[in-house]
Structure 1
Amino acid sequence: PEELEKNVGPVPETKDPRPSFMDEYQAATGNSCGLLSEYWETIYRYPRLSGGAVWDWVSPGITQKARFIPSAEPGLPEGFIMGSAQLVTGRIGKGIALSGHDEWVEIYRDPRLDIAGDQLSLALWIYPRRWNGHSPLITKGDHQFGLRQSSRDSLEFTIHSGKRILLFARVPDDWSYKWHHLAAVYDGRSMRIDIDGATAAEAPASGNIDYSAFAPAIGKNTELHGQEHPGELCNAVLDQVRIYDRAFSPQELYDDTAGGAVLKLDFESVEERGEFFSLGIGGRTYGLIWPDRRVQPELYELKKVPQPVKIEWADQATGTVRIGNRYQFTNLNELQGDWKLQADNKVLQSGGMRIDLAPQSEREIHIPFQKPSTEAGREYRLLISFSLEQATLWAEQGHEVAWEQLELAVADVPPKPAIQHADGRMTVTEQAKIITLQGTSFEYLFDKESGRLTSALFEGKTILGKGPQFNGWRAPISNELEREWGARIIADEYRSAGLDRLQHQVERVEWSQSEESVQLQVTSRTAAAGFSAAFINQYDYTFYNDGEILLTHQVRCEGQFPEWIPRIGLRLMLPEEFNELTWYGRGPFETYPDRKKGAKIGIYSGKVGNQYEPYIIPQEYGNKTDVRWLTLTDEEGIGWFISGDQWLNISAHLYSLENLDRAWYIPQLQPDHRVHLYLDHAVTGVGGTPVKTLEKYRVKAGVYCYSVRLKPINANRESALELGRQAFPLMDQQ
């Protein structure tokens, strides 16, 4: 947008009469398409600007069977077959044949494979076939470790310890079309390559292996072999692939007697588990609709922001609205106009209208609504909508073409009612590690070592497993994995500060009790081991005698941080039956701070599982913006009512954050029988692929303070809408 504003839009026609059309101003890569509002504000401001192309319409993806190789040892990571690779006769039993063309075995990025010490052993049997110029064997990206055939007559073993350390060995004369055993070993003092049980090369080496977030793979390097790679990969049959986080002798590896493998694949069978959309080796996740033509959430933003009708207040006091026809050739009398006066989600008044308005012109019209009688805590809006009066080749009759929600300021609003807490008395019991708070209908267990609740019972049901606790990480979105945003991948900047490996250390827990409540203060430090970037947390809890919780959370960032960070907020884990989500905010689909104009403000409900967006590469999803309040309950209405002193960003997932971060394909996602709830004070926007997230949508390292209200509820007895109209209780914020 800045380039358009400075160098393109203002150019006078006398200097350059040509219109401007952008080739690729947006690439809808994964969870993307932020910044559209800023682009179109500029485009509509300058007649010379005519818009641009969005890359792409359909997300690429070929439907394939999800084929897994079970581990030879239960509990270890499985293999995930990519392409058309097949099991064939192996060295012992079966092996996997890789043709050298878009075929490999992907390994889930299990934490046990994050080998970052000074011990490593890689081993496999290989039946090499025709040399094609590329033959990765076992790799974990290009900056951690790997074994590959680097040329027709040479093997290469790599570790990365601040720099790339290489060891080469010549292949034997009878290399091709014969089974050979290969091993690559690092013991903190030297690197070694073994061929057929004998050492073929060895050299001194030292240092801990660097951590890399790229997935391990067999037959491919996941860091190098992407869109720009011509396609040739390993052309061989492989068997008995092993990875160890210890060093072993040539004989132990050759005889397969080494114990403690962290990866052990024998390729004896394949398990099919549904289907998925495969990108192949060179695909990229551009798209506004999924490969099966279902709509992605970004499309709603692209529909709304450049909409052909401009709608804004002209004079709110008289109910006058300014309508602009942005069409080039169509009169607005071809559309049906409607208006609704809303109080929260309730329609108070409504009507229709037909406007005779020529293309590229504006006029003011009066909307004949009556000023409503105001109620405390309600929000009033005027919704104006234009839709197709007749069906067309591209849409059905009644299809909404343009809309706007205009906030209605009302006078003489009564003050919000104060929260009334039920009478009662709470019993507090402190033990070495646990503080128990018990009232008439609830029991909370607070763990002093972790600094969070580890159980919450309400009316006999467990309504909380863990939390709340600070969270600053999210599974990187595609734009945070793209190099277009700068010389270094944004997610790598996050990881270089340890944001993906945060650990919580409690420094202080204190509590006191009054007649009405218990006050509990927790101070903790959240950081990754060995990194300076740290979040200093102060949690100030008030537990009321009726079970309601008021939490003020202050976060102070200290140390070396990236230019911006993913989020500032809280994470809670609930039992999986708490799957009923209702929220008052933007919806019903996901929105983000820089991609929310396409969603109306309202009250929405749905299953937690239905909030999932199946991005072809798993990543952050499901955020809801401008949330006034939410409820998360089971089918019987038991659960939580939550609101904030400021509007929240919220999301609820069936997959853990760790699983979303580490999976590269949808079949690698596994529900962990919990609901993961995120209450965020600040969330970084998604940006546009060619353009970074704008400054105003970035969460910067700094000091943040916010409060949330967590109230156990039985929705059969209490109205969330009425609770949301209550005045938020303010606490002293230090």
Structure 2
Amino acid sequence: NVENFKNHPSVIIWSLGNECGGVGTNFVEAMNTVKKIDLTRFLHYERFGIGKNNPSDFDGKMYGTPEQFAAIAQNKELTKPFYICEYAHAMFNSMGSLTEYSEMFDNNPNIVGGAIWEYQDQALWNKRDPNHPILAYGGGFGEFPNDHYFIHKGVVSYDRSISGTKVKPHYPEMKKAYQWIKTELIDPSKGTIRIKNKYQFISLDGFAGEWNVTENGVKIAEGKFDVPHIEAFNESIVNLPVKVENPKAGAEYFLNVSYTQKGNTLWANRGFEVAAEQFKLPINTPAMNGSKSAVPVKIKKDGNLVKISGNGFSLVFDQKTGFMTQLNKAEKNLLVEGESPKLVLWRAAHRNDDMWTYDNWSKYGLNSLTYSPVDFKVTKVDKSSVKVVSKIKAEGKEGFEAYHTATYLIKGDGSVKVENDVTFAGPRINLGRIGIRYRLDKQLDRVTYFGRGPQENYSDRKTGAFVGLYDLAVHNQYEYEKPMEYGNHEDVRWAELSGGNLPSIQFNADDHLMQISAIPYTDEEMFPVEYKIDLPKSNSTVFTLSTKTLGVGSASCGPKPLPEYLIWTDETHFTYSIKL
């Protein structure tokens, strides 16, 4: 290869290989031979390690935390450039913390750079059975031995789609983390931004600027601006005509700044967005007036059932189980018959990135909890409100228990405030999430929400998902070929489900915001299935509302989610409300 490609202008570094032996005789001889053939380029081999015993031109290490990499870069005893040949792993639903890694690269210029493993998903179509086409991973063609799930990985999908529902959610996150124009909001009152050119060789003359302001996700102002002449590694100040007059009570305002190409290039056309940033504007908005409901609410008991009804709605609880069994609006039950909102603590494991903790989920029975009532009370607060307090024990295995107390404040106007207290007994372990799962009628197949999107996002993979007003189809989201939990959206203010001939239902977060997903399958249905074509026919819209969601990390090859993105079995309180 060295002899063949030594004159190729795209080759900048030679590598001896990937994940082979250490500082052995053969590798050292190979390095020396390469140096004899080509004296103009550096040579890297990660398994030579770092420090005085490393004979290559670079110190190298693959897979570690940003903190670990920064410590190596700042070690004064190490004098060679530091190259991280792999630092994040893009297998199925993974590739967390790119923002932290990108900041680490920016703050440590003696790090040459790093690579994600890898760019394009390696999936291959197997259409030998025309009735059962699959994007095959290891064993998908009947071959043996194989690496099973491990072959499905890539920042972009198998066909390199960068638009539509075939776009892997990893792509916009990487695009955001790797953008070469940095924007800071330094004076919101004047719309003053600082633009920094992170490119190493070119100015920003080839880019045009655009901005807009949104109010609760709706664009209310927009404009274009001239990007100043900024040479590589330099910065400049720009004032944007950003002004919000007469802010609405309770509204949120965001400034979005974008940079696009002025002309066509070999790699992208005019108008292609190369960088973008979003800022929440610190605008003092008037407080929302809390309206008091004067609509009467009724309580009716029939055996074990308790029915709370008001203006065009009713909720039915079973005192024997402690669960809500009906959520009626306009005399139509929005819950699947026989299903109830329940505490959920796990997720259909992201393969293989969740396997470091899934073993505990299975060992302690988080994926097969048994629910039993502890206490149930109904209290008439006043003529227009009723309080229902339901305490449920969710029992797993080997001493694991969770206690969920849901306090429903039901008002006659159709508003339901739900306060949740969750405590745990048994071992302290990591969780997939802490939330409530609703099995809703499958006709409710569209979701409008105010939160991060449009692509799925997680606590450690959300920087490329801006806060906005989005609409998604439950059956038209990016799905992984091996079924697993997907479709999460972070920092959601509210979400409304609608569809078919059913009335809509809206869920609202408290000040701490919420995470939501609305997909056609339960975790229990997805986990054992090898290929998505073999999933059972959907019989519900599975709406999960969480207060905490586990990050995705890169644990199939690298580190698990960073500490700030882990969820533990610690006492938790969260609130949300339902509007019927």
Q: Which TM class, normalised by the smaller chain length?
A: 0.7 to 0.9
3-state SS in 1 of match to 2:527: helix
Corresponding residue for residue 346 of structure 2 = 473
- Report the Cα distance in structure 2 between the residues aligned to 1:405 and 1:377, rounded to whole angstroms: 20
Which structure 2 residues correspond to residues 200-599 of structure 1 after superposition, within 5 A?
226-227=146-147, 281=148, 283-294=150-161, 295-344=167-216, 345-411=218-284, 413-421=285-293, 423-465=294-336, 466-481=339-354, 489-513=356-380, 514-528=382-396, 530-562=397-429, 564-599=430-465
- Report the Cα distance in structure 1 between the residues aligned to 2:141 and 2:213, rounded to whole angstroms: 58
Do the aligned residues in 1 keep the contact of 2:391 with 2:405 (CA within 8 Å)? yes
Sort the Cα spacing of 1:84 and 1:706 in 2 relative to 1 into closer, same or farther, 3 A.
Answer: closer
Number of residue-to-residue matches in the alignment: 498
- Report the Cα distance in structure 2 between the residues aligned to 1:47 and 1:670, rounded to whole angstroms: 51
Sort the Cα spacing of 1:481 and 1:709 in 2 relative to 1 into closer, same or farther, 3 A.
Answer: closer
Note if 1:35 corresponds to 2:97.
yes
Corresponding residue for residue 176 of structure 1 = none
State the one-letter code of the partner of 2:288: K
Corresponding residue for residue 560 of structure 2 = 692
Note if 1:674 corresponds to 2:545.
no
3-state SS in 2 of match to 1:22: strand
Tell me the CA shift for residue 67 of structure 1. Answer: 5.8
Question: 122, 125, 129: which one pairs with 1:63?
Answer: 125
Do the aligned residues in 1 keep the contact of 2:353 with 2:554 (CA within 8 Å)? no
Corresponding residue for residue 522 of structure 2 = 656
The root-mean-square deviation of aligned C-alpha atoms, in Å, is: 2.2
Identity %: 28
- Report the Cα distance in structure 2 between the residues aligned to 1:614 and 1:676, rounded to whole angstroms: 15
Tell me the CA shift for residue 515 of structure 1. Answer: 0.7
Q: Which runs of 5+ in 1 are unaligned?
A: 71-80, 86-100, 103-224, 228-280, 483-488, 713-734
- Report the Cα distance in structure 2 between the residues aligned to 1:385 and 1:544, rounded to whole angstroms: 44
Q: Which moved more, 1:621-630 or 1:447-456?
A: 447-456
Do the aligned residues in 2 keep the contact of 1:649 with 1:683 (CA within 8 Å)? yes
Corresponding residue for residue 71 of structure 2 = 6
Q: Deviations over 1:370-410 (max 9, x none)?
A: 34332211112221111111122222211111111122112
Tell me the CA shift for residue 326 of structure 1. Answer: 0.3
Tell me the CA shift for residue 664 of structure 1. Answer: 2.0
3-state SS in 2 of match to 1:610: coil
Sort the Cα spacing of 1:357 and 1:410 in 2 relative to 1 into closer, same or farther, 3 A.
Answer: same
- Report the Cα distance in structure 2 between the residues aligned to 1:498 and 1:83, rounded to whole angstroms: 30
Corresponding residue for residue 623 of structure 1 = 488
* Richer in strand (by share): 1
- Report the Cα distance in structure 1 between the residues aligned to 2:130 and 2:395, rounded to whole angstroms: 35
Do the aligned residues in 1 keep the contact of 2:211 with 2:224 (CA within 8 Å)? yes
State the one-letter code of the partner of 2:493: R
Which structure 2 residues correspond to residues 66-81 of structure 1 after superposition, within 5 A?
none
State the one-letter code of the partner of 1:57: Y
- Report the Cα distance in structure 2 between the residues aligned to 1:381 and 1:318, rounded to whole angstroms: 14
Sort the Cα spacing of 1:16 and 1:498 in 2 relative to 1 into closer, same or farther, 3 A.
Answer: same
Sort the Cα spacing of 1:523 and 1:599 in 2 relative to 1 into closer, same or farther, 3 A.
Answer: same
Note if 1:22 corresponds to 2:84.
yes
Corresponding residue for residue 473 of structure 2 = 607
State the one-letter code of the partner of 1:463: L
Do the aligned residues in 1 keep the contact of 2:387 with 2:407 (CA within 8 Å)? yes
3-state SS in 2 of match to 1:535: strand
Tell me the CA shift for residue 602 of structure 1. Answer: 0.4
State the one-letter code of the partner of 2:491: D
Sort the Cα spacing of 1:602 and 1:444 in 2 relative to 1 into closer, same or farther, 3 A.
Answer: same
3-state SS in 1 of match to 2:241: coil
State the one-letter code of the partner of 1:535: A
Sort the Cα spacing of 1:438 and 1:16 in 2 relative to 1 into closer, same or farther, 3 A.
Answer: closer
- Report the Cα distance in structure 2 between the residues aligned to 1:496 and 1:419, rounded to whole angstroms: 48
- Report the Cα distance in structure 2 between the residues aligned to 1:419 and 1:637, rounded to whole angstroms: 27
TM-score (norm 2): 0.82
Q: Which runs of 5+ in 2 are unaligned?
A: 1-65, 133-137, 162-166
Tell me the CA shift for residue 520 of structure 1. Answer: 0.8
Do the aligned residues in 1 keep the contact of 2:126 with 2:141 (CA within 8 Å)? no
Question: 709, 715, 719: which one pairs with 2:577?
Answer: 709
Tell me the CA shift for residue 477 of structure 1. Answer: 0.7
- Report the Cα distance in structure 2 between the residues aligned to 1:353 and 1:51, rounded to whole angstroms: 31
Do the aligned residues in 2 keep the contact of 1:66 with 1:667 (CA within 8 Å)? no
Sort the Cα spacing of 1:543 and 1:401 in 2 relative to 1 into closer, same or farther, 3 A.
Answer: same
3-state SS in 2 of match to 1:303: helix
Q: Deviations over 1:437-459 (max 9, x none)?
A: 23341232212233222222211
Tell me the CA shift for residue 637 of structure 1. Answer: 7.1
Tell me the CA shift for residue 635 of structure 1. Answer: 4.3
Do the aligned residues in 2 keep the contact of 1:573 with 1:676 (CA within 8 Å)? yes
- Report the Cα distance in structure 1 between the residues aligned to 2:550 and 2:128, rounded to whole angstroms: 33
- Report the Cα distance in structure 1 between the residues aligned to 2:198 and 2:572, rounded to whole angstroms: 42
Corresponding residue for residue 58 of structure 2 = none
3-state SS in 2 of match to 1:383: strand
3-state SS in 2 of match to 1:329: coil
Do the aligned residues in 2 keep the contact of 1:479 with 1:687 (CA within 8 Å)? no
Do the aligned residues in 2 keep the contact of 1:305 with 1:598 (CA within 8 Å)? yes
State the one-letter code of the partner of 1:625: E
Do the aligned residues in 2 keep the contact of 1:533 with 1:561 (CA within 8 Å)? no
Which structure 2 residues correspond to residues 104-183 of structure 1 after superposition, within 5 A?
none
Tell me the CA shift for residue 282 of structure 1. Answer: 7.4
Do the aligned residues in 1 keep the contact of 2:448 with 2:496 (CA within 8 Å)? yes
Sort the Cα spacing of 1:692 and 1:510 in 2 relative to 1 into closer, same or farther, 3 A.
Answer: same
- Report the Cα distance in structure 2 between the residues aligned to 1:282 and 1:585, rounded to whole angstroms: 32
Corresponding residue for residue 107 of structure 2 = 45
Sort the Cα spacing of 1:332 and 1:451 in 2 relative to 1 into closer, same or farther, 3 A.
Answer: same
- Report the Cα distance in structure 2 between the residues aligned to 1:553 and 1:21, rounded to whole angstroms: 47
Q: Deviations over 1:272-298 (max 9, x none)?
A: xxxxxxxxx575221112223332101
